């Protein structure tokens, strides 16, 4: 089968097309004839910085859609030919993927394979951030960074449907604001001035809930615009920087800081992930959220997809086509 392999970390050019043996499903696993592959920011971090990469050579790709090819020992509820979307832990950028049955999902009625590849990571992530960790409530004012990207597009809509009174987004360039304004956001600010803009928009009060996939300075500036009893959920380090706080950063205003990792959830608590994914997919099937695909590439052009994502000009979701 054809698959993308990384032999060394670096720019998009290190994504190389290789011919590999087709995988067989082990106990509790499925193999999937892949139709579409979701491109995630974490794939670019894995390629360039070795983020969550156990060693080289490495095969990137954490989500696919396709048809079940074979089921391994002990698998129930799946049969060859069924259309599924799934998390992948060992190389989704492939013609055939080996996935755990516990983190594969039969596509909801009316959802086609192309759309299905957009769902496994983004939908449960946005749901988990807002409803499980962030505990969004009726009337909350919500601030979401990377508002026009995959997670941001869905999070804006889920915040709105979760009862938020106002949803503010942050982007690096206002060219992306039109997309965000169609995705549940009331106003969109740029990263350089978001903190003063948020204070101005809320008459100095700040926000009840903020979602931060950037970390570093962005995290600290976001902490500073939380309202009393505000919650900040940190779920990424796109800025390749960390954060650190002390008790005194939280106690005076009664602030909570939380974290979230969909990949850790998939690895450690697949039954909890299924629950969250079930709710998120239901919202999608009901039309509560939309996730437009803004670009698609052939599998062999994965490097082009990474270049585009790293240009910070994309909105919505990027896909690879097998």
Binding site for ligand NAP (CB under 6 A): 40-42, 121-122, 125, 146, 148-152, 171-172, 176, 191, 213-214, 235-236, 238-239, 260-262, 309, 312, 314
As a residue count, the chain comes to 322
Burial label, 218 (beta-carbon count in 10 A; 0-12, 13-18, 19+): buried
Give the tokens for residue 60. Answer: 């990137």
Which CB atom, from 78 or from 260, has the smaller least distance to ligand NAP?
Answer: 260
Strands (E) in 43-165, as ranges, are: 63-71, 83-87, 96-100, 104-106, 141-145
Q: Which letter does DSSP use for residue 191 in this model?
A: T
In the complex, the smallest distance separating the C-beta of residue 268 from ligand NAP, rounded to whole angstroms, is 13
In the complex, the smallest distance separating the C-beta of residue 314 from ligand NAP, rounded to whole angstroms, is 6
Which CB atom, from 158 or from 214, has the smaller least distance to ligand NAP?
Answer: 214
In the complex, the smallest distance separating the C-beta of residue 54 from ligand NAP, rounded to whole angstroms, is 18
Q: Which letter does DSSP use for residue 129 in this model?
A: I
102-125: burial string, b at 16+ Cβ within 10 Å, e else:
bbbbbbbeebebebbbbbbbbbbb
Which CB atom, from 122 or from 303, has the smaller least distance to ligand NAP?
Answer: 122
Peptide bond between residue 47 and the one before it cis (omega within 30 degrees of 0)? no
Residues linked to residue 18 through DSSP beta bridges, in sequence order: 3
Which CB atom, from 78 or from 105, has the smaller least distance to ligand NAP?
Answer: 105
Which CB atom, from 2 or from 187, has the smaller least distance to ligand NAP?
Answer: 187
Which CB atom, from 133 or from 226, has the smaller least distance to ligand NAP?
Answer: 133
Select from 136, 206, 180, 169 the least CA-distant residue to 316. Answer: 180
Select from 281, 292, 291, 316 the least CA-distant residue to 110. Answer: 281
Which CB atom, from 182 or from 312, has the smaller least distance to ligand NAP?
Answer: 312
Strand order in the sheet with 207-212: 187-190, 166-171, 141-145, 207-212, 226-234, 256-259
Nearest residue to the partner ligand NAP, using Cβ: 149
In the complex, the smallest distance separating the C-beta of residue 70 from ligand NAP, rounded to whole angstroms, is 29
In the complex, the smallest distance separating the C-beta of residue 101 from ligand NAP, rounded to whole angstroms, is 21
In the complex, the smallest distance separating the C-beta of residue 74 from ligand NAP, rounded to whole angstroms, is 28
In the complex, the smallest distance separating the C-beta of residue 42 from ligand NAP, rounded to whole angstroms, is 5
Give the DSSP H or E segment for 4. Answer: strand 2-6
The values of phi and psi at residue 250, to 5°, are -105, -40
In the complex, the smallest distance separating the C-beta of residue 247 from ligand NAP, rounded to whole angstroms, is 25
Residues linked to residue 39 through DSSP beta bridges, in sequence order: 318
Which CB atom, from 148 or from 210, has the smaller least distance to ligand NAP?
Answer: 148
């Amino acid at each position: 089968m054809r698959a993308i392999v990384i032999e060394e970390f670096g720019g998009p050019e290190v994504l190389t097309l290789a011919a590999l043996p087709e995988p067989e499903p082990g106990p509790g696993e499925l193999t999937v004839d892949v139709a579409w592959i979701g491109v995630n920011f974490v794939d670019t971090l894995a390629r360039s910085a070795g983020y969550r990469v156990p060693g080289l050579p490495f095969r990137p790709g954490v989500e696919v859609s396709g048809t079940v090819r074979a089921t391994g020992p002990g698998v129930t509820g799946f049969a060859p030919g069924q259309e599924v979307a799934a998390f992948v832990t060992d190389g989704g950028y492939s013609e055939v993927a080996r996935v755990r049955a516990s983190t594969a999902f039969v596509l909801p009625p009316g959802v086609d394979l192309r759309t299905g590849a957009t769902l496994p990571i983004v939908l449960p992530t946005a749901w988990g951030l807002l409803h499980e960790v962030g505990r969004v409530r009726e009337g909350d004012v919500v601030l979401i960074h990377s508002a026009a990207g995959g997670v941001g597009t869905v999070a804006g809509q889920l915040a709105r449907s979760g009862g938020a009174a106002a949803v503010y987004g942050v982007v690096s360039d206002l060219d992306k604001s039109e997309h965000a304004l169609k995705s549940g956001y009331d106003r969109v600010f740029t990263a350089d001035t978001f903190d003063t803009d948020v204070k101005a928009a809320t008459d100095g009060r700040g926000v009840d809930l903020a979602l931060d996939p950037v970390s570093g300075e962005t995290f600290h500036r976001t902490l500073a615009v939380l309202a009393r009893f505000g919650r900040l959920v940190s779920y990424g380090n796109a800025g390749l920087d960390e954060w650190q706080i002390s008790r005194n950063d939280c106690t005076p205003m009664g602030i909570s800081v939380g974290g979230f990792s969909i990949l850790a959830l998939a690895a450690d608590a697949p039954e909890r992930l299924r629950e969250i994914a079930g709710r998120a997919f239901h919202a999608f099937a009901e039309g509560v959220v939309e996730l437009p695909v803004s670009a698609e590439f052939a599998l062999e052009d994965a490097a082009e997809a990474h270049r585009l994502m790293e240009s910070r000009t994309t909105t919505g979701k990027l896909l690879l086509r097998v």
